[in-house]
């Protein structure tokens, strides 16, 4: 995740587009407010949808295959990892002028890790090691091929 905010509208994606996509494909969430997240990544634009959800949209064609891959694998990882993993609730399809699949997920509260936010660096390192050990134990059967752009 990039540690700088991006302005709304990057990659042709803005809150108005997200609101239209939600209204047309998932009307049950159509009344929820849509706002850009404060710190956004590069491969995707992420928007808050109300208080408990996010909408995640790839910024380019090369990132679009990850949408279905994440929808399939995040629940598998969630059962196996010692950290919270966002649950994908719905898959959106191209529409409203947006050309790629996209997803709606549960929102996870948190902050980007930074040295000034870590009180106990050795304990943090152990938690990262525990995460990596748990990740290595996940059965990769039917998973993406080695070296594939995964997440």
CATH value at residue 85: 3.30.200.20
This prediction's pTM: 0.84
Inside any domain, residue 2: no
Q: Is residue 4 part of a domain?
A: no
Closest CA to 150 of 54, 71, 87, 84: 71
With CA atoms as reference, report the closest residue to 97 among 54, 57, 55.
Answer: 57
Domain-embedded: residue 74: yes
Residue among 124, 82, 74 nearest 104 (CA):
74
In a domain, 88, yes or no: yes
Q: pLDDT digits over 108-127, tens only?
A: 998 888 999 999 999 999 99
**Res 30: pLDDT:** 97
Q: How many domains are contained in the chain?
A: 1
Q: Does residue 63 lie within any of the structural domains?
A: yes
pLDDT of residue 65: 93
Does the residue 44 lie in any domain?
A: yes
In angstroms, the first-to-last Cα distance of the chain is 11
Q: What is the mean pLDDT of the segment spanning 83-91?
A: 93
Domain presence at residue 146: no
What is the extent of the structural domain holding 103?
10-137
pLDDT band at 6 (very low <50, low <70, confident <90, very high): low
Residue 75 makes CB contacts below 8 A (sequence gap 6+) with 85, 87, 88
Tokens of 59: 């910024």
Q: Does the pLDDT at position 1 exceed 50?
A: no
Percent with pLDDT over 70 in the chain: 91
């Amino acid at each position: 995740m990039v540690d700088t905010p991006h302005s709304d509208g990057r990659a042709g994606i803005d809150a108005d587009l997200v609101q239209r996509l939600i209204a047309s494909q998932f009307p049950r969430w159509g009344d929820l407010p849509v706002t850009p997240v404060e710190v956004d990544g590069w491969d995707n634009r992420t928007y808050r949808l109300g208080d408990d959800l996010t909408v995640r949209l790839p910024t380019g064609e090369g990132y679009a295959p990850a949408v279905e891959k994440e929808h399939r694998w995040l629940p598998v990882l969630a059962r196996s990892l010692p950290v919270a993993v966002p649950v994908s609730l719905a898959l959106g399809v191209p529409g409203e002028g947006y050309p790629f699949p996209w997803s709606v997920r549960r929102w996870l509260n948190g902050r980007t890790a930074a040295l000034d936010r870590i009180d106990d660096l050795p304990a943090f390192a152990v938690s990262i090691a525990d995460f990596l050990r748990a990740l290595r134990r996940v059965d990769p059967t039917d998973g993406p091929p080695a070296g594939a752009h995964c997440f």
